[in-house]
Structure 1
Amino acid sequence: MELTESFLRSRKIETLVENRSTFTLDHTELSIFETHQQAENVYLKFSDPVLASMLMGKKIMHLNQHMDFDFLPGESVILPSDEVMCIDFPEASIKNPTKCLAMAFEQARLDKILDNLNEIRPKIDNQEWKFTNSNFHFTNDVAIQHILQRLIFIFTEQHPSKDIFADLMIQELIIRIVQTETKTFYSKNANKLSSNNRIAHVVGYIKENIREHIQVEQLCKIACMSESNFYRVFKEELGLSPIEFIIEERIKLASSLLKNPEFRIKDVYFESGFNSLSYFNRMFKKKFKLSPSEYKHQAATIS
């Protein structure tokens, strides 16, 4: 993501650590933070739920619940209201500043979006759409990345209808985030949830059989749903089709295997459930912008 020219021209640098530029619209506030020197133990807190997304550089985040992680461009984290962040900036400098956006959402607006979603697109098996009340760290998919880029433009431009434009984009952003969280939650808790959630049961089956040839017809039977209904429900709840989810899980497995020096690339694609090396190479590069051999070399270098 890139900051707009209008933002770069208008913002004022008043401090070298977490210099903040703020833009406020109805129900939502966007802040751009820039840090131009190394720093440690910088504390930050928002009174509303917030989405933080890295634009440039690197942070080390220390959150409650003993959650510590490197925060890199293309990643986001959801934080509940009044969550205290402790942040380190190990690499920030004048020439290489760290930049991050933080979008704070009015709780009542979040509740309205989710209430509407639960009314018109309810989950199956009596589940409800909910916005996380704990920390959720994830990698932006292409859709979320594009929405955030568009929102930066909308917030920083001078347009009389930008509240309307932003509200529509934020609705889509919230829905895609809760789909991403649902997908992650099902993946981590498939066995626990499978007894009373059909989609979680399918996710568990896919993960357990990822190396095998998985047919969508079989997944429909496991879910006890018609093919058309299964496709619709699966994509509504997880944000991607069953085939896309299977490929994503196989690529995830392949990326972990490539970090093992004992695995050759032809071993990795086979162990990950792919039956074509060229297809594996194409899907892997689409995800990571690196070929499997480049990824393996980079992982070995880091190690």
Structure 2
Amino acid sequence: MKKHLIDTFPFNEKRSLLTLVENRTSYSFDSCELNLFETHQTVENVNLVFDHFVFTSMLKGKKIMTLPDRPSFEYLPGESVILPPGELMNIDFPEAEKGNPTQCIALTISDEIILDTVHKLKELHPKEDSWGDWDIDPSIFHMNNNFDLADAINRIVRITKSEKGKIKDIMIDLTLKEMLVRLMQTQARVVFESSYNQLAGNNSLAAAIQFIKTNLRNNIDLGKVAEVACMSRATFFKKFKESMGQTPAHYILKERIKLAKNELKNTSQNITAVCYSCGFENLSHFIKAFKQETGYTPKSFQTSKTF
């Protein structure tokens, strides 16, 4: 899966290096606080805690993070971690050094804007009964960024750098709400990716995803997918996009790309054979879509030693 990165922050004119360990600069707004962290030396057992819900995203370098009652894990660029208020983070920085610091952002977000965003989604865009509900799930705390989530975070950083006056708070609030929606959509994808087989019997979205995954190598009629979900085509498309953050067609494309990546790395098939065995009907479309999603052509991906 391609990880989507957040722009490295060039706030040099506003930042003074206070310490080599977790140097922190904060930018406060009505509904959130943007914290920018840099660590300039290898260090272990750094503790950090926030009073509000916090969304963090790695920019550069690597952390080893340990959370209460959870095993330690590597935290890498292109990934995000969310934590409830008061959750203690214990962090090691195995690669940080002066001139090549580890960089991370942390957004602490007010309860009011989270509750308001969730309430509006439930009121204006309710999910189907079996599809779960709009909410942030703290159990899904470590995830890869997708393009839309990374883009929303990048815009919050850009607004912080470029806008002036009270308009900045308004723009931050609007973009923050979008980021929260993208976060909930990302979590929904994590849930259904990991448990669609178990949920398919009584969850129409999981049943649709199961049908898609079972038929990736074949031509998939989206009208048939909507039937599996027991919805009209128009309703299914609308609800799928709201819940998952992407259209059914784009979801199918991304799943076929994932299948193709596995085939390219684990079989001796040539590019053309992989194209058609993974449900694509046109070689040039396959190559273009693969590069768009992964940043590599199928051939360069197949021959690379780094995946």
Whether TM-score is above 0.5 comes out as yes
Mapped to 1, the partners of 2:291 and 2:169 lie a distance apart of: 37
Measured after TM superposition, the shift of residue 261 of structure 1 is 6.1
1:124 corresponding residue in structure 2 = 128
For residue 28 of structure 1, report the CA deviation from its aligned partner.
0.9
Residue 266 of structure 2, aligned match among 260, 269, 276: 260
C-alpha contact (below 8 Å) 1:80/1:132 kept by paired residues: no
CA distance in 2, matches of 1:237, 1:227: 15
For the residue of structure 2 that corresponds to 1:259, the secondary structure is helix
Identity of aligned residues (%): 39
SS state of the match for residue 133, structure 2? coil
1:96 alignment counterpart: 100
Paired residues for 1:150-169 under 5 Å: 150-157=155-162, 158-169=164-175
Distance change in 2, residues 1:46/1:217 (3 Å): same
Tell me how large the CA RMSD over aligned residues is: 2.1
Residue pair 1:3, 1:152 contacting (<8 A) in 2 also: no
Question: Which of 44, 50, 54 matches 1:50?
Answer: 54
Give the drift of 1:263.
5.2
Aligned residue pairs: how many?
Answer: 300
Q: Is the alpha carbon distance of 1:268 and 1:39 closer, same or farther for their aligned partners in structure 2, counting shifts above 3 Å?
A: farther
- Return 5+ residue gaps in structure 2 as ranges: 1-5
User: 1:222-237, aligned counterparts within 5 Å?
Assistant: 222-237=228-243
Indicate if the aligned counterparts of 2:199 and 2:206 stay in contact, CA closer than 8 A.
yes
Classify 1:163/1:130 alpha carbon distance in 2 versus 1 (closer, same or farther; 3 Å). Answer: same
Q: CA deviation at 1:245?
A: 0.4
Tell me the secondary structure at the aligned position of residue 165 of structure 1.
helix
Is the Cα–Cα contact under 8 Å of residues 78 and 144 in structure 2 kept in the other structure? Answer: yes
Deviation at 1:167, TM superposition (A): 0.5
Matching residue of 2:3 = none
CA distance 1:159–1:180, change in 2 (3 Å): same
Q: 1:141 corresponds to which residue?
A: 146
Closer/same/farther in 2, CA of residues 107 and 259 from structure 1, 3 Å limit? farther
Confirm whether residue 72 of structure 1 aligns to residue 76 of structure 2.
yes
Give the TM-score normalised by structure 1: 0.90
| TM-score normalised over the length of structure 2 | 0.89
Which 5+ residue runs of structure 1 have no aligned equivalent? none
